[in-house]
Amino acid sequence: MAEFLRQVRCAWVIAKKNARVYYLKGPVVTFGIVFPLFFYLSFAAGHDAPVSVMVPGIAAMALFFTASAVGPLVTPWERQARTFERLITSPASLSAILAGDIGAGAAFGAALALLPLGAALMLTTAQVSAPLPLVAGWLLGAIAFSSLGVLMAAPATDTPSQVMMLSNLVRLPLIFVSGVFVPHAQMPPWGQWLSPLSPLSYCADLIRVGFGGASYFGVATDVLALAGISTAFAVAAHFFHRRTRSRLA
């Protein structure tokens, strides 16, 4: 128990370090808000989408981008700054290091994405009608997206641009099959088959329910899927980061 509590403390210290060093930067905060907002609005400009569709879509997109944006870059930045070796030789286990990385990304994403959500609630007629699904989608989605970001940091490289290429190669397809831009019912058959593979699909579904919309997968399915995907991403991140460390040792 004492060792477990020590690793929990290590994870907390790492999460605070990541938030202070990597997350609380002007360009990161601006990118996390502005990019998903304009990305969604540019696509929706030619579509007559109601507010009940626009607001959940923007909120889900903002959460996805903010929670998964910096996680892939933390480890390459650590290697580039020559602080990664010091981190892996510290008393913190690999599990604690990854837990700290995931926790920092999830907290940053969940907090920062509240800004476009709050603006949408103040500037539009959208209203929250089911708080519990909204909160569940928000928190579970932040953890799932942050876990995905930490998983993509596993390649043995100290060049952030290489990781960003991989990150965008993974994240953009997940966005387009998620039902954020095109409702699931209007997707082609191949899109409906691929949609369950994206964690954003379930997060956006819960947020949509929170704003009074209909669920495509079912609330219970959304919750279980996000919990399972978060666990799968975290386990995969631990496996690949351990392999990378063994190869570099």
State mean pLDDT over 159-186. 78
User: What are 135-149's pLDDT values in tens digits?
Assistant: 999 999 999 999 998
In single-letter form, the type of residue at position 247 comes to R
**Counting Cβ atoms within 10 Å, is residue 214 exposed (0-12), middle (13-18) or buried (19+)?**
exposed
Question: Whole-number mean pLDDT of the chain?
Answer: 80
Q: In the structure encoding, which two tokens stand for residue 88, read together?
A: 């892996």
Q: Looking at residue 124, what is its pLDDT? A: 76
Higher-pLDDT residue of 190, 87: 190
**Backbone Cα Rg of the chain:** 18
Question: How large a percentage of the chain has pLDDT more than 90?
Answer: 20
Q: How many CA atoms lie within 13 A of 20 on its CB side?
A: 6
* Confidence band for 200, pLDDT divided at 50, 70 and 90: very high
* 27: pLDDT strictly greater than 60: no
* Confidence band for 62, pLDDT divided at 50, 70 and 90: confident
State mean pLDDT over 194-202. 91
Q: Which of 100, 137, 145, 118 is nearest to 55 (CA)?
A: 118
Rama region for 82: left / alpha / beta (φ>0; ψ in -120 to 50; rest): left
* 20: pLDDT strictly greater than 90: no
* Confidence band for 12, pLDDT divided at 50, 70 and 90: confident
* d(C-alpha 181, C-alpha 151), whole Å: 25
pTM equals 0.86
Count of C-beta atoms within a 10 Å radius of residue 127? 12
Number of helical (H) and strand (E) elements in the chain, helices listed first: 12, 0
Residue count (the chain): 249
Q: Looking at residue 207, what is its pLDDT? A: 92
* d(C-alpha 158, C-alpha 235), whole Å: 23
Q: Looking at residue 93, what is its pLDDT? A: 83
Task: Specify whether the CB–CB gap between 219 and 206 falls below 8 A.
Answer: yes
State mean pLDDT over 175-195. 82
* 28: pLDDT strictly greater than 70: no
* 127: pLDDT strictly greater than 80: yes
* Confidence band for 199, pLDDT divided at 50, 70 and 90: very high
